């Protein structure tokens, strides 16, 4: 953006970071709220992620049924996600019981849905599983649907640290049409309603973009889900 000062006619470039990024609806039900978490909240969540990453189940790179290993590392809360099901125990990482779903994330999830869709939707939102994903500079996530849940309640996604190029596709298949958007530290993305089962993925991270003071290298993403499984002992 170029600014011309009124008094002396000097032209200056305004840094991108000073231009507020507007809220955007990428598709019906897919709402991006930039800078939703303030810097203090971001740092608090990073500290919580550090604690969650070490136990009772350690953060690890999930192994897929075809033998491939994901480049992203993740840890779950509430329900343990492994490709492609949920379990109360970390069956692929020593079998420990997964940590309970924390109240702080339940409240955050409701606030997020309120910010995206309004208070009525938020009152119905009962997230019971969180996936905390860590991306180093080389990590990415292929196009997929979040479909191990047995409800169509929205998914809440929070980004911390390094920005990424997030690809939001269509509900039919992993191919075009898609939209590439940047998710930066503090951004909220909610996808529900007609967008709930849209394909999505992370094309790449953008090293060097983490806010100073976040005390952390790389990208963290927290997704909150409502599995529809709570009250039962296992997902299968
Ligand atoms: O890291 C992200 O922004 C997306 C994560 C994701 O799609 C998932 O965990 O299912
Ligand atoms: Fe996903």
Give the residue extent of every domain in the chain. 28-225
Please report which ligand is nearest the Cα atom of 131: 1
- The DSSP H or E segment spanning 3 is strand 2-4
Q: Note the pLDDT of residue 16.
A: 75
Which residue has its alpha carbon closest to ligand 1 atom 2? 221
* pLDDT bucket at 12, cuts 50 / 70 / 90: low
Q: What's the 220 CA to ligand 1 centre distance in angstroms?
A: 10
Q: Note the pLDDT of residue 8.
A: 52
Which residue has its alpha carbon closest to ligand 1 atom 8? 223
CATH architecture of the domain 28-225 equals Sandwich (2.60)
Q: What's the 190 CA to ligand 2 centre distance in angstroms?
A: 11
* pLDDT bucket at 55, cuts 50 / 70 / 90: confident
Q: Is the pLDDT of residue 236 over 60?
A: no
Q: Give the model confidence (pLDDT) of 127-180 as tens digits.
A: 999 999 999 999 999 999 999 999 999 999 999 999 999 999 999 999 999 999
Q: Say if pTM beats, i.e. exceeds, 0.80.
A: yes
Q: Is 80 annotated as a binding residue?
A: no
Positions of E strands within 84-146: 85-87, 129-135, 141-144
Instruction: Report the pLDDT averaged over residues 87-107.
Output: 96
Quote the tokens at residue 5.
């000062």
Q: Note the pLDDT of residue 233.
A: 47
**Cβ partners under 8 Å of residue 3, min gap 6:** 11, 12, 13, 14
Q: Note the pLDDT of residue 216.
A: 87
Instruction: Report the pLDDT averaged over residues 99-104.
Output: 98
Quote the tokens at residue 131.
């996936």
* pLDDT bucket at 15, cuts 50 / 70 / 90: confident
Q: Give the model confidence (pLDDT) of 18-54 as tens digits.
A: 888 999 999 999 999 999 999 999 999 999 999 999 9
Q: Is the pLDDT of residue 190 over 50?
A: yes
Q: What angle (nearest 5°) sits at the alpha carbon of residue 230, between those of residues 200 and 142?
A: 15
DSSP string spanning 47-79? HHHHHHHHSSS--B-PBPTTS-B-SSEEEEESS
Q: What percent of the chain has pLDDT over 90?
A: 86
Q: What's the 223 CA to ligand 1 centre distance in angstroms?
A: 7
């Amino acid at each position: 953006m170029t600014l011309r000062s009124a008094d002396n006619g000097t032209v200056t470039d305004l840094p991108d970071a000073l231009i507020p990024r507007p809220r955007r609806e990428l598709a019906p039900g897919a709402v991006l709220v930039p800078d939703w978490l303030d810097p203090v909240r971001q740092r608090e969540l990073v500290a919580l992620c550090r604690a969650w990453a070490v136990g009772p189940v350690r953060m690890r790179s999930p192994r897929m049924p075809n033998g491939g290993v994901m480049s992203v590392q993740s840890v779950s809360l509430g329900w343990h996600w492994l490709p492609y099901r949920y379990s109360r125990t970390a069956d692929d990482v020593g079998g420990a019981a997964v940590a309970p779903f924390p109240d702080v994330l339940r409240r955050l999830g409701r606030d997020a849905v309120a910010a995206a869709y309004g208070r009525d939707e938020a009152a119905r939102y009962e997230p019971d599983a969180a996936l905390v994903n860590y991306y180093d500079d080389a990590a990415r996530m292929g196009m997929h649907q979040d479909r191990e849940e047995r409800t169509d309640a929205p998914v809440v996604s929070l980004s911390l640290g390094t920005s990424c190029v997030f690809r939001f596709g269509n509900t039919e298949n992993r191919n075009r049409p898609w939209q590439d958007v940047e998710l930066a530290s503090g951004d909220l993305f909610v996808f529900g309603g007609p967008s709930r089962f849209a394909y999505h993925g992370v094309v790449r991270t953008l090293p060097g973009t983490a806010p100073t003071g976040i005390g952390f290298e790389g990208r963290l993403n927290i997704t909150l889900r409502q599995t529809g499984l709570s009250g039962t002992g296992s997902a299968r």
